Amino acid sequence: MTDKKHKKPLSLYIHIPFCKKRCSYCDFNTYAGFEEYMDVFSEGVQFELELFAQKFRDDFVVKTVFFGGGTPTVMSPGYFASILKSISKNFSVSDWLEVTCEGNPNNINKDYCSELIKMGINRLSIGMQSSDDHELKILDRMHNHQVVINAVHDAKSVGFRNINLDLIYGIPTQSMKTFNQSIDAALDLKPQHLSIYGLSLAQSTPLFQRIQKGELPELENDQSGEMYEWVMDYMPKFRFEQYEISNWALENYSHDYRCMHNIQYWKNLDYLGIGPGAHSYVNGWRWCNVDPIPMYVENLRNIIEKDGFSHGAIKDSHQLGKMDIIKETMMMGLRLVRSGVNIEEMNKRFSIDLLEIYERQVEKLLQLKLIKVGQIHDSSYIWLTKKGRMLGNQVFLEFI
């Protein structure tokens, strides 16, 4: 068996599809009122982990675990304990394991957080979204800002030292003033990480439909752009460094507060998704599970062999070609605004000359001042300029 230090890093994403209430802007694979499935769901997740461990544990070491959703914190702590025990039992696990749990502030209190810490969860991501109660109602959030304050204080009081807060800009009726107030309110809570996303709505969401009906105003793209530009300039004043297009980490010499799990995605490295609707990318293969909870639970134990995969809850799988992987690695890597794409690493990883392959695109983007190419320490990199961050999609399209 390969020694841990010689194994490839693997990130595990555990999709928790349960919610108390579905938010108006959400189009994730989540369900309200399905609590009776929690036991069989947990058993299914553990069974799926066992199946994939047989395939991957000899070559990979688990570096990060991420419980996302949905609302993972609607589950009692015992479910996390069972799943984490299954991971430790079946996989080779890093001694320095980042374990993140997303949570709704309504479900977070001292006792709950204390139990999470005992199980080994060491990073908490709380869905704050806004400090303005009117904006929270538009998003159909179940909490107000005081609930967020209480949740963060409770988490810190029992020992959480790595807390992320999610915020949204571009909410209907939101102004620059209320967005500024939300950022200040988040900073007042002294988190170690902030994820700040522009609102993007699928046509199937209730909020999109309300805007289409004229019940709510759509925020202009220019105003959303002003908010994003402002927050990029504002965060460094508080020692928060933007390391990815939508993510900021507190600068600290003794601890790296960047989300290691998401960095695995952005570097286009291997990740294994477990649960209903979860997506995976391992060894150049991409696949996803069926969405509905009952179908996931029912199909999971139909053991089949197709493309090397062994359970019936996989709805789609395909192998990527070399050039497809290079394109995705470029697009994802450019999201890492602090480091961008390491040219020498890309050349070695894919046995290519990156600047030769993308000579035309790089020259064009340099002229538009959307990227820079240069030396950082002893390596050459391509990274986004501030203008490039604001026009990220335009840059990424060049590499498709």
Helix or strand or coil: residue 236? helix
> What tokens appear for 275 in the block?
């649960």
Beta strands in the chain (DSSP E): 8-16, 18-19, 31-32, 60-69, 93-103, 123-129, 163-169, 193-198, 240-244, 247-250, 271-274, 279-282, 285-289, 314-319, 341-342, 371-376, 379-384
- According to the model, what pLDDT value does residue 13 have? 98
- What is the DSSP code string of 6-75? GSEEEEEEEEE-EESS--TT--SS-EES-GGGHHHHHHHHHHHHHHHHHHHTTTEEEEEEEEEES-GGGS
Helix (H) or strand (E) segment spanning residue 307: none
Render pLDDT for 311-327 as a digit per residue (tens, 0 to 9).
889 998 999 999 999 99
Assigned CATH for 4-264: 3.20.20.70
Could you tell me which of 20, 27, 190 has the C-alpha nearest to residue 103? 20
What is the residue type of 73?
Answer: T
* Per-residue pLDDT band at 284 (split at 50, 70, 90): very high
Indicate if the pLDDT at residue 259 is higher than 80. Answer: yes
- According to the model, what pLDDT value does residue 221 have? 77
> What tokens appear for 193 in the block?
């990480």
Residues found in the chain: 400
Which residues have CB under 8 Å from 233's CB, separation 6+? Answer: none
Residues of the chain with CATH 3.20.20.70: 4-264
241 in Cβ contact with 251 (< 8 Å): yes
Strand order in the sheet with 193-198: 240-244, 247-250, 193-198, 163-169, 123-129, 93-103, 60-69, 8-16, 271-274, 279-282, 285-289, 314-319
When pLDDT is averaged across residues 192-221 and rounded to a whole number, the result is 93
Backbone angles phi, psi at 200, to 5 degrees: -130, 125
Q: Which residue has the tokens 């990060």?
A: 64
* Per-residue pLDDT band at 310 (split at 50, 70, 90): low
* Per-residue pLDDT band at 370 (split at 50, 70, 90): very high
- According to the model, what pLDDT value does residue 307 have? 55
Q: State in Å, rounded, how far the first CA of the chain is from the last one.
A: 39
278 in Cβ contact with 83 (< 8 Å): no
* Per-residue pLDDT band at 85 (split at 50, 70, 90): very high
Render pLDDT for 347-356 as a digit per residue (tens, 0 to 9).
999 999 999 9
